[in-house]
Amino acid sequence: MCTEERTQGGGSRGGGSLLLQNVLLEKSKLGSVVVKGMMVDRGGGFARAAAAWGDLASSEGVQTSSLENSSLTSSLLPLSHGNSSSSSSSSSSFTGSASITGSGRESGDKDYSSGGGNHHKLSSVSRASNGSDSSESSCSTLGYGGSKPHKANDKRWEGIQAIRVRDGSLGLSHFKLLKRLGCGDIGSVYLAELRGSHSHFAMKVMDKDSLARRKKLLRAQTEREILQSLDHPFLPTLYTHFESDKFLCLVMEFCSGGDLHTLRQRQPGKHFSEQAARFYAAEILLALEYLHMMGVVYRDLKPENVLVREDGHIMLSDFDLSLKCAVSPTLVKSSAADSHDGGRRAGIPVYCIQPVSCAEPSCVVPSCVGPVGALSCVSPCFVMKSSLPSLLPSFVRKKKDAKNAKAGGTVTPLPELFAEPTDARSMSFVGTHEYLAPEIIKGDGHGSAVDWWTFGIFLYELLFGKTPFKGSGNRATLFNVVGQPLKFPESATGQVSFAARDLIRGLLVKEPLNRLASKRGAAEIKAHPFFEGVNWALIRCTSPPEVPRPFELGMPGSSNNTRAAPTESSHSSGGSYVDFDFF
C-alpha cells in the first residue's frame, strides 16, 4: 500500500510485496545474508537474473498512480462482452486533481499481456483460461449468478446487468469514482458507485503503459483470471472488468471495514483475543483451501490483504502475486478393511488414494463446495459432528452409508477430497519479508506449502501482535526466517493457549515437507485442536468478533478524500462526458 506504511515493533513493514527471483542466500556469510540475482517476473521466469533491483524498489516503495496527476483522454473502443461485441459512443472524463478522461469497454477475454511489454511467460504457471473464459461469458450473457451461485442474490449484479442490457457493456463512464481506497504495486483502488444505482464497488485501476513499462501486464492478467474464477464467501467477487486505451479496470466487491492489520492495531495490546484470531484464521483457512482446490497458490497472506466486509466477515484480496498451477483433486478415503483392523488398531486411518473422475477444478469444485460455500469439501470432522449428510456430495454419502453399514453403525472416517497443489513449483521470490517462507528465501523452489507457512506467521501476528522473525532490517529478517528457531514472546506466557502455539509450531516448520498441511492441505489444519468446535460449514453465518460501523463517505478518514461533484459536459467529438472531482 502506498498510502500508509505499517509500523510495528519499532520498524516498518512497507506494504509492498517482494517479487524477485533467483534469490540466493549466501549461507557462508551468516549474519549478513546477501540476496542477489533478483528477477522481476513472477512465477518462474528464467533469464535476466540481475536486472530486477529496480522492481524490488518499486514494489517496496511508493507508487503514485497516474490517475493522481494526469488528465487522460481515450476514445471509446468497440464494446464487447462475453464472446459477442457491440459498440457504443459514450465516454467519460474525470477532472480535478485526480482526473481521468476516458472511457472503457469490457475487455471480455482480451489478454492483458498482448498489448505491450516484453514478458517471458511464466514457466511454472499453467493458465486455466486460454482465450475464452466461462465465468465472464456466463456473467455477461446470463447476467448474474450463472457462474457464481453464492452471489446470485447480490443486487449489484442487477445494476451491472441493466447497464449491459441498455448499453451493451460497461466502461468507466458508468461509474462515479468517489474516493481512492489505496494503491498497490500495480494499480490504485477506488470506491466507485455505479451510476443510477446505490451500488458501491472497489475498482482497481491499472495504467497500461505503466504496467507495460514495468513488465507487469502478466501479473495484472493473472490477477484478473484468478478473480474471474472465484466464487467463495471469503474471496472477492469480480463483477466485471474492462479497459480503456489507458487503463485496465477490475470492478470488485467493496469491503467497507478496512483491513485486518488496521483492525489489529485497534485492539487492546494490538493483538486479537484467541477467539477472534480463531475466527479470522478459520475463514482464511477456508479461503486458502478453496484457492488450492482451484490450483491457486496465494503466496501473499498478511493482515493487510485481509479485508473486512461490512458484516464483519473477511475477504482475502490481492491476487497479483498468486501462482496458478495445475491441480489434480484427489479423493482420499480410508479403507474399510484397513480401518477395521490395522489402521484402527494403530489408531490411525489408512488411506488409499484415487483420482476423482474429473480432474478439472471447474468440474470438481461446484459439486463439492455445493450449497454451503465455505464447506471444506468433505471434512470428516464436520460430518460426524453436524450430522448433515445431505450437504455432502452423493458419492461421499454412499461411501459413508456403506461404511457405516459395515462398521455396524459406528462412525468411521469419511473420504476427504483434497487438491493440494503439492507439485506446483515456482522459483520466484514473492511475498513480504516477514512472511516469506524459508524455501522461497533459499531459492529452493516452492509450492503450496508456502501458504501454510504464511498462515502460521499470520496466526502468530494476530495472537501476539507481531511476527516471529522480524529483524532490525529486511536482511536480518530473512536471515532469521531461515536460521532462527521459532520463539514465542515470554510476556504472552499464559495468554495464548498451548493449542495455538502447537498449531503455529506445526505450521512454522522450516522444511516444507515436514510442515503441517503439506500433505493433505487444509484438512490437516482443520483437525488441529486449536480449531476444535469450529463449524466449518456454517462459519459464514456465525457472528464475527467485530462488525464495522456502517460505511459513510463522510466518515473520518474518508472525508478528506471525498468531494464527489459530478457535472455533465460534452466532448468535441459529440461523446457524452461525465466530469467529476474527488480528493
Ligand X SMILES: Nc1ncnc2c1ncn2[C@@H]1O[C@H](COP(=O)(O)OP(=O)(O)OP(=O)(O)O)[C@@H](O)[C@H]1O
DSSP percent split of the chain into helix, strand, coil, nearest 5: 35, 15, 50
Please say if 300 is a catalytic residue.
yes
- Decide: residue 10, CB within 10 A, 0-12 exposed, 13-18 middle, 19+ buried: exposed
**Cβ atoms 308, 479 nearer than 8 A:** no
Alpha-carbon Rg for the chain, nearest whole angstrom, is 24
Give SS3 for 160: helix
- Give how far the C-alpha of residue 296 lies from the chain's centroid of Cα atoms, to the nearest Å: 9
Give SS3 for 239: strand
Q: How far is the CB of 515 from ligand X (least distance, A)?
A: 24
For ligand X, give the closer residue by CB, 299 or 526.
299
Cell of 43: 512465477
One-letter amino acid at 448 equals S
Task: Give 571's DSSP letter.
Answer: -
- Backbone φ/ψ region at 565: left (φ over 0), alpha (ψ -120 to 50), beta: beta
Residue nearest to ligand X (CB): 184
CA distance 13 to 60: 9
Residue numbers of the site for ligand X (CB under 6 A)? 1, 15-17, 181-187, 189, 202, 204, 236, 252-255, 259, 305, 307, 317-318, 320
- The sign of the torsion formed by the CA atoms of 289, 291, 292, 293 equals positive
CA distance 285 to 273: 18
Q: Residue 439 to residues 48, 84, 426, 435, 483: CA-CA distances in angstroms?
A: 21, 45, 10, 12, 12
Give SS3 for 548: coil
Q: Residue 166 to residues 49, 86, 193, 241, 301: CA-CA distances in angstroms?
A: 50, 11, 18, 17, 40
Q: How far is the CB of 203 from ligand X (least distance, A)?
A: 9
State the chain's maximal CA–CA distance in angstroms.
83
127 HSE (CA, 13 A, CB side): 21
**Among the options 133, 231, 259, 300, which is catalytic?**
300
One-letter amino acid at 89 equals S
CA distance 418 to 440: 24
Indicate the angle between helix axes 498-507 and 449-464, nearest 10 degrees. Answer: 150
CA distance 415 to 368: 12
Q: Residue 549 to residues 191, 235, 389, 552: CA-CA distances in angstroms?
A: 17, 21, 38, 9
CA distance 321 to 314: 19
For ligand X, give the closer residue by CB, 188 or 422.
188
Catalytic residue ranges = 300
